[in-house]
Chain A
Amino acid sequence: MIKNALLTMTRFHPYHGQNIRLLHDNMVAYRETSFAHALTFSEKPLRPGEIFLVEIEKNERGWSGHMRIGLTQFNPADHFELPQYALPDLHNMGKSWIFAVTKSHNKVMLNEEGDTDNGDEPYQSVIDVGSRIGIMYKVNGDTAEMRFIINGEDQGPCARYIPYQGGNLHAVVDVYGTTKQVRIIQLYGVSTLQNACRDRILQLTSEDDLNKLPLPKKLKQFLRYELVQEGEDVSPARKEKIVEERTCMKCEKKAVLVTRVNDAFCKECFMVYVTHKFRAAIGKSKLIRDGESVLVGVSGGQASSCLLHLIQEGLSGRAHKKLRFKPGLVFIDEGATIGMSAEERLANCTQVLEIMEKTGFPCYLKALEQAMELEREAVTNTADQTDTASMTSVEDLTKLHRYDKAEEELRALMDSLKSVSAKEDLIKSLRHKILIDLALKKGYSKVMLGDCSTRLAVRLLTDIAQGRGAHVAMDTAFADNRCNDITIVRPIRDFSSKEVAMFNILNNVPSVFIPRITTKVYSVSIEHLTERFVTGLQAEYPSTTSNIMRTGEKLHTEKKSSSENQCAICQAPLDTDVPSSSALSAVRFSETVSRCSSVTLSIFSTDTACDGGGDKTCQSEGQKESECCGRGDGSCQSKESKLTRDEVESALCYACRLLIKDLGDVSKLPKHILDDISQRQRRTKMKSEIEDFLLDPSNTPD
Chain B
Amino acid sequence: MPIKCNLCEAGAILKRPKTGDALCKNCFYFAFEEEVHKTITDANLFVRGETVAIGASGGKDSTVLAYVLKALNQRYDYGVNLVLLSVDEGITGYRDDSLETVKRNQQQYDLPLKIVSYEELYGWTMDAIVKQIGLKNNCTFCGVFRRQALDRGAILMKVDRIVTGHNADDIAETVIMNVLRGDIGRLQRCTAITTGTEGALPRSKPFKYTYEKEIVMYAYFKKLDYFSTECIYSPNAYRGFARAYIKDLEKIRPSAIIDIIHSGESLSVKKAVKLPTQGTCERCGYISSNPLCKACILLEGLNRGLPRLGIGKSHKERRKLNEMLAQKEEAGNEKTTPDNSTETTENASSEKSATGSPKQKCENCSCGQKCLSEKVEDLQLDRRKIDPTLIDF
Contact = CB atoms under 8 A, between A and B. Distances in A.
Contact of A36 (B230, B238, B253): B230
A334 B338 CA distance: 72
Q: For this complex, into which size category does the number of interface residues on chain A fall?
A: 35 or more
Contacts of A658: 253, 255, 259
Interface string B229-265: 0101011011011011100110011011011111111
Nearest to A524: B252
B255 A594 contact: no
A500 B224 CA distance: 55
B42 interface: yes
Interface string A553-565: 0111110000000
Interface stretch (A60-68, A104-112, A429-437, A439-447): A60-68
B27 A594 contact: yes
Interface string A451-474: 000000000110111111110110
Contacts of A654: 259, 262, 266
Given A63-B235, A421-B253, A470-B268, A35 B230 contact: yes
B180 A555 contact: no
Most chain A C-beta atoms within 10 Å of own C-beta, residue among B31, B243, B253, B263: B263
Interface in A662-696: none
Given A554-B273, A555-B270, A593-B31, A464 B258 contact: no
17 contacts: A61-B136, A61-B234, A421-B253, A464-B176, A465-B259, A472-B263, A472-B267, A523-B248, A533-B241, A547-B182, A548-B182, A551-B187, A554-B270, A594-B21, A594-B31, A597-B27, A654-B266
Contact of B240 (A64, A547, A582, A586): A64
B262 A467 contact: yes
A606 interface: no
Interface stretch (B33-41, B112-120, B350-358): B33-41
A587 B255 contact: yes
Interface stretch (A10-18, A164-172, A295-303, A573-581): A573-581
A64 B266 contact: no
Contacts of A557: 268
Most chain A C-beta atoms within 10 Å of own C-beta, residue among B178, B193, B261: B261
Contact of A419 (B19, B31, B235, B253): B253
Contacts of A547: 180-182
Contact of B244 (A65, A421, A594): A65
Given A64-B240, A526-B253, 13 more contacts: A34-B230, A62-B135, A62-B136, A65-B240, A464-B176, A469-B263, A524-B252, A530-B245, A551-B184, A583-B262, A590-B209, A595-B6, A654-B259
Minimum-distance CB pairs A-B, first 8: A469-B263, A64-B240, A467-B259, A62-B234, A583-B262, A586-B209, A581-B42, A470-B266
A631 interface: no
A304 interface: no
Contact of B262 (A469, A526, A530): A469
A93 B261 CA distance: 33
A319 interface: no
Interface in B44-85: none
A544 B180 contact: yes
Interface of A: 33-36, 61-65, 419, 421, 460-461, 463-470, 472-473, 523-526, 529-530, 533, 537, 541, 544, 547-548, 550-551, 554-558, 575, 578, 580-587, 589-591, 593-595, 597, 654-655, 658
Interface residues of B, number: 64
B18 interface: yes
Contacts of A33: 232
B330 to A, nearest CB: 35
A98 B27 CA distance: 34
B16 interface: yes
A590 B270 contact: no
A35 B231 CA distance: 10
Nearest to B252: A526
A35 B270 CA distance: 42
Contacts of A35: 230, 235
B121 interface: no
A33 B231 CA distance: 11
A583 B241 contact: no
A584 B258 CA distance: 8
B43 interface: yes
B175 interface: yes
A523 B249 CA distance: 10
Contact of B260 (A465, A537, A544, A578): A465
Contacts of A464: 175-176, 179, 260, 263-264
A64 B244 contact: yes
B7 A597 contact: yes
A593 B39 CA distance: 13
B269 interface: yes
B371 interface: no
Contacts of A465: 249, 256, 259-260, 263
Contacts of B179: 460-461, 464, 548, 551
Contact of A594 (B16, B184, B237): B16
Contacts of A460: 179
B8 interface: yes
B141 to A, nearest CB: 14
Contact of A595 (B21, B241, B269, B273): B21
B259 A529 contact: no
B176 A461 contact: yes
Contacts of B234: 61-63
